[in-house]
Every structure is written in C-alpha cells, then in structure tokens.
Structure 1
Amino acid sequence: MKQAGTPPEGKWTGPSHAGVKAPEPILLADPARRFAATAQRLERLADGHPLEAWLRFMAALADAQHTVATTLAPAATLSPAQVMQAVEARLPPLAADGHRRDASWSDGLALLLELVDDGQLPPAAQQAMEQLRSSDAASLEKLADRFLRGGLSATDAAAAVYVAAALQVYFTCSAARLDAADLRLLEERELCPCCGSPSVAGVITATGVTPGTRYLYCSLCSTAWNHTRAVCITCGGTRRLSLQAIEGDPGVVKAETCGDCHTYAKLLYQLQDTQVDPYADDLASLGLDLLVAEAGFARHAPNPLLLVGDEDSVAG
C-alpha cells in the first residue's frame, strides 16, 4: 500500500475571511459506529444483488469487526510527544508501513476468526482460518507486514483477507485515540494524514456546515479528510476529468476518471442516498470498476479486502 511523503509546513485552515466556513480538514472515525454502519449497509445492498452471497459474507465480516472493535478494542496509544514528533518529521503518526504494532491486533484477529467461522464456509475459507489459527506470532506479524507493504503472494490471499479485516479494526481503534487537531494534511493529499494509506472512496456530502465537500475515506484506519473536488487525487490534474456511471443507475456511485494519468477514483453522493457508506458501497459497485477498467482506466488504489481475496475464496 502506497505510503505518505512530505506534508506542507503548516496546517490547512481554509478561508479566513468573514462569512465563509471551511470544512473540517480531518475527521476521525468512531469505532463504535464505523463497522456496524458498513455491515448494515451491506445487508441492505445485498438484496437481489448479483453478488448477494458474497456481500452477505462481507456484511458478516463487518459485523465481526464491530464486535472486536467494541469489546476487545485492539489499539496502540501514542503519546502527545510521539504524535508531535511524527508530524514535525512530516510523517503520519500511525504510518502503516513503519508503525510498531501492539500485540493486541492479533488478539483481535483470533476473536474475528471465532466470530466469522459459522462452520458453513467453503473449504478454502476454512483452510485459511486454520492456517491462521496454527500460525505463531512471528508468522502473523510477517503476514501483516507483507499486506501493509504490498508484498502479498497468491498463496497469502485467502488468509490475508482476515488479517486485513483485523488490521482495519486495530488501526481504526488506534486512530480514534488521537486528536484530529494534532494532525496535519499531507502534501500527497490522496494519502491519509493519520496512517498514510490511500483512500477507498470519496463521499460528496449533502449536509453539514459545507455541503458538497469531498471527503476521502482511508482504506485502513477509517479516517476521513477533505480533498478539493474536480482534482484528480492521483496526479492532481484538472483538465481531463470526467464522471462515469452505469447507465440506468440512480447515481449514488460514480467513477471520476482522469485522462492524464488514466486512473479513477469512486465518488459517492449523499444527495442521492443519505445512507451511503464508502466501504460497503465500494464493494457493491464492482460492476462500475469493470466498466471503467474496460475503458482503460486503473483504480487509484485497491480496496484492501479485494486486494487479498475474492468471493470464490470466502463466500463460495
């Protein structure tokens, strides 16, 4: 997963003149709501969907994440000095590829496996879970490192989907212990200011102080941060952007494609559906990914759960 570079010297504060309210630059997720909202949205989107069985499995996985986040709550606690040191060094304080993880993340993984294993999953999924249960701590840490640093092999895929889910809980709970006011937007604005990971999707708000604002949602720690609209989040281009959607679709999810770098990022519109969830709606809109891929565009960054697994290996 691509990590962060050098952020600007000062914090972004938005317009300062009277009468103009700037959007909050950084919003930290609430672990008590994040995974429950995704699970509920996936259940709703699964009805009648061509990938219904897989979406229901992903809903069950998100529900298990919610239980881990609200009972065990695996997380690291950074001191104010550690946060300040990271920010002053132009680094995200929970940098995914450099953060020394607390051992509680693997306790979260163990509980997650227990919650997801209903005895009815296909053989590949059962085998993957047994592999994880029989792995020692060092092996699990190496697998987590390979996931976070983009070094997964094909043989890792089935097991790593559960590792990815456990790491999402760990980093979300860890980020929630920070103060957004202590963080700084990065110079590479497409990357999370908290952990340096790429976004999974963007949401165009319909409510709040500044409706119409775009927030990118971190694929790992669930932090949201403001990003200017009509700007490619990959290359910063503005001239050759266009929106793509599936014909006949209600317009909740669109792909913003860039003709300069030939990448795309998904946008979700709250005005069309106030219940949109960047994590659930991204999974349920794989048809849009296929559409824009066939047109020659590459996704700006993969969904980590799709990076390491597919519906055949988990849902049957």
Structure 2
Amino acid sequence: MSIQMTPVQTPTGGVNEIVPVLLPALKERYAKRAARLMQLAQGHAMGDYLDFCARIAQAQQQLLEQMPVPAAQVAGLSERLGSGQAPLASSDYPRDPYWQQLLQALIERLYPEANATVRTTLDTLRRYTSTELEVLASALLAGEHEQVDSGQALFLWAALSLYFTQLASALPASARAHLGEQRQHCPVCTSAPLASVVMTGAQAGLRYLQCGLCECRWHMVRLKCSNCEATGALDYWSLDRQDAAIKAESCNGCHSYLKVFYPERDPDQDVLADDLASLALDAEVEREGYGRSGVSPYLFPG
C-alpha cells in the first residue's frame, strides 16, 4: 500500500506538502448528517427513506455521546502502528464486543417508531447470538454482501461504522505517502471508498477518497481511476449541468464508476446523505454499462 499509517510525527512544514490521510472529526458528525438527510428528504421521491436514515444518524449521534468507545480500546491503538499494515484492517482487527452493544442500543432507539417490516428485521437481529453477529459482520466487512440480508446489513453497518469511525478518529497516527499505486482501499481499515471529494480549505482542489466504513479520507491524484488507477480513460457524468455539485467518474478501462463530490459548489453536502439522495445519477450511469466500485452504507445489494 502506498500510504502507510505511522506513529505521530512532527510535520515537516512544507508549504506544498499534501496530507496523505485525514482522520474523521467526530463533533456533531451524525447530527449534521441527520439534518442534511431531512433537508434532502423534502419533496424527494425517496423522502420517507431519507427521513428513516436520518433517524439512524440521530441514533448514532446519541450513542456517540452516551456510549463512546471504551478507553481501553483507544489505548491499544498505538500498538497497531508502524508495521506497514492498515492499523484497523477490517479483515483481522480484533473487534471488541462493544460494537454489538452499539447495535443493540441502536435497535432499542429505532424500534418504537419503526414500521412492521423494519421491526421484523430488528427482531431478527435481536435474536442472533454473539457468534452469529460476528459471522455476519465478518461477511459484510469482507464484501460478501450475498451472505447478509440487505435489511439487516443497514443496521449492522451503522453499528460497525460508528465503532470504526471512533477508532479511526482516536488513532495517534500520521500517514506517510510512498511512491507507487495501490490506493484503491482505505489505508486505515482497508475498506472500499464510498466516493471522491474534491476538497476546499487547506486541501483546496485536491481529491480525497472517503472510506465507507471508518470515514477517513485519503489522497489520490485526480484524472486517475479510483478503482484500477488507469489514466486517460475517464468520463464525467451529471444529471443537469456542467458545474454540478455531484458527478459520476466512470472508467472505460475497468468499466467501474464512483461519484465525485464538489463541496465548493454545495457547502452543505454530506457524502453519505447526498450519495443516497442522488441515486438517479447511479441509475443513469449504470444504464450506460458501468458498475459502481463502492457500496452505499444506506443501500446494500440484495
């Protein structure tokens, strides 16, 4: 992997230095997402589902405040740095039972206002043993989506993502970029990117990929496919205008696509929320024969 996480180091101070990895900030993260989902729901064809996902985000915010990741979990993170491997690699990170506590608490918060279909799904999740939940989590994190009911995956992922995002935020880490490719997966947890973001502020104009699990962002040069890293074979699609705030970047080499977000054109964007609200763009690009290289945490296959 050409970006590696290392123990915290003193910045070199170069004015043009590109920060390889941006760890997620937790403050009001899910509250802001919930507000954006509710805003996007107004008059939207998927308004009811956007509102439901807003309730999930609200529950995540409550759990973040009331049930933060145990201090012992954070204390051990430094031991996983400096090996050259992703410190929170989802395939081998020893998950703490805490994530299952998050899942059960999430179920309790969502159950009272859930409809009959959702309650059936939540009841099924309640009945699983700890071992069964770990098997489902492992399959989901490995991308074996056919092994997990898509309705259950939504809630499993909400708990897992809240767990891994807290861990990522607490990493006492820097990142070091090396020459070479292999930036298709998150250097923190190895998950696939949800989308690209063309940044504003200190990283203005740079493209970062956003992880769909731990929500870290890592740098990848523009005009390069985020899936196969080919250059010169990219097209950009939008539903309305040339300066759209969301586009789809497709590759004629591997026939995949991933959305690109431009917060400069819409400062209120939240990648997860706006991704869900822009599924019409996915439909059009997939009609052209391209397959999405990432998965929406709010819409698993199945």
Q: TM-score, structure 2 length as denominator?
A: 0.89
For residue 115 of structure 1, what is the aligned residue in structure 2? 109
- Structure 1's unaligned 5+ residue stretches are 1-5, 310-316
CA offset at residue 78 of structure 1?
A: 5.4
Q: 1:145 to 1:185 in 2, by over 3 A?
A: farther
Q: Which residue, 74, 79, 90 being the options, matches 2:76?
A: 79
Q: Which residue, 112, 122, 129 being the options, matches 1:129?
A: 122
Cα RMSD of the aligned pairs, angstroms, is 2.4
CA offset at residue 259 of structure 1?
A: 1.2
Whole-Å separation in 2 of the counterparts to 1:194 and 1:138: 25
Q: Which residue, 38, 43, 50 being the options, matches 1:43?
A: 38
CA offset at residue 210 of structure 1?
A: 3.5
CA offset at residue 74 of structure 1?
A: 3.2
For residue 26 of structure 1, what is the aligned residue in structure 2? 21
Q: Which residue, 143, 154, 169 being the options, matches 1:176?
A: 169
Whole-Å separation in 2 of the counterparts to 1:17 and 1:94: 27
Whole-Å separation in 2 of the counterparts to 1:92 and 1:23: 20
> Is the 1:26–1:224 contact (alpha carbons within 8 Å) kept by the matching residues of 2?
yes
CA offset at residue 160 of structure 1?
A: 2.1
Q: Which residue, 99, 108, 116 being the options, matches 1:105?
A: 99
Q: Which residue, 282, 287, 295 being the options, matches 1:289?
A: 282
CA offset at residue 153 of structure 1?
A: 3.5
CA offset at residue 102 of structure 1?
A: 0.6
Whole-Å separation in 2 of the counterparts to 1:177 and 1:148: 21
Q: One-letter code of the match for 1:116?
A: L
CA offset at residue 184 of structure 1?
A: 4.1
Q: 1:215 to 1:134 in 2, by over 3 A?
A: same
Q: 1:99 to 1:31 in 2, by over 3 A?
A: same
For residue 191 of structure 1, what is the aligned residue in structure 2? 185
User: Mean Cα displacement is larger for which, 210-219 or 103-112?
Assistant: 210-219
For residue 312 of structure 1, what is the aligned residue in structure 2? none
CA offset at residue 236 of structure 1?
A: 1.1
CA offset at residue 51 of structure 1?
A: 0.6
Query: Are 1:269 and 2:245 matched, yes or no?
Result: no
Whole-Å separation in 1 of the counterparts to 2:13 and 2:144: 47
CA offset at residue 185 of structure 1?
A: 5.0
Whole-Å separation in 1 of the counterparts to 2:124 and 2:193: 29
> Is the 1:184–1:193 contact (alpha carbons within 8 Å) kept by the matching residues of 2?
no
For residue 140 of structure 2, what is the aligned residue in structure 1? 147
Q: Secondary structure at the match of 1:234?
A: coil
Whole-Å separation in 1 of the counterparts to 2:56 and 2:131: 24
Between the two proteins, what is the percent identity of the paired residues? Answer: 33
> Is the 1:23–1:209 contact (alpha carbons within 8 Å) kept by the matching residues of 2?
no
Whole-Å separation in 1 of the counterparts to 2:223 and 2:194: 17
> Is the 1:22–1:210 contact (alpha carbons within 8 Å) kept by the matching residues of 2?
no
For residue 152 of structure 2, what is the aligned residue in structure 1? 159
CA offset at residue 112 of structure 1?
A: 0.7
CA offset at residue 272 of structure 1?
A: 0.9
For residue 247 of structure 1, what is the aligned residue in structure 2? 240
CA displacement 1:101-142 (0-9 Å, x = unmatched): 011001101111111123442x32111101111222111111
Query: Are 1:58 and 2:53 matched, yes or no?
Result: yes
Q: 1:273 to 1:152 in 2, by over 3 A?
A: closer
CA offset at residue 200 of structure 1?
A: 0.7
Q: How many residues align?
A: 294
CA offset at residue 23 of structure 1?
A: 3.1
> Is the 2:30–2:57 contact (alpha carbons within 8 Å) kept by the matching residues of 1?
yes
Q: TM-score, structure 1 length as denominator?
A: 0.85
CA displacement 1:165-223 (0-9 Å, x = unmatched): 10010000111110241x445852121111011111111123x2231111211100011
> Is the 2:261–2:271 contact (alpha carbons within 8 Å) kept by the matching residues of 1?
yes
Q: One-letter code of the match for 1:117?
A: Y
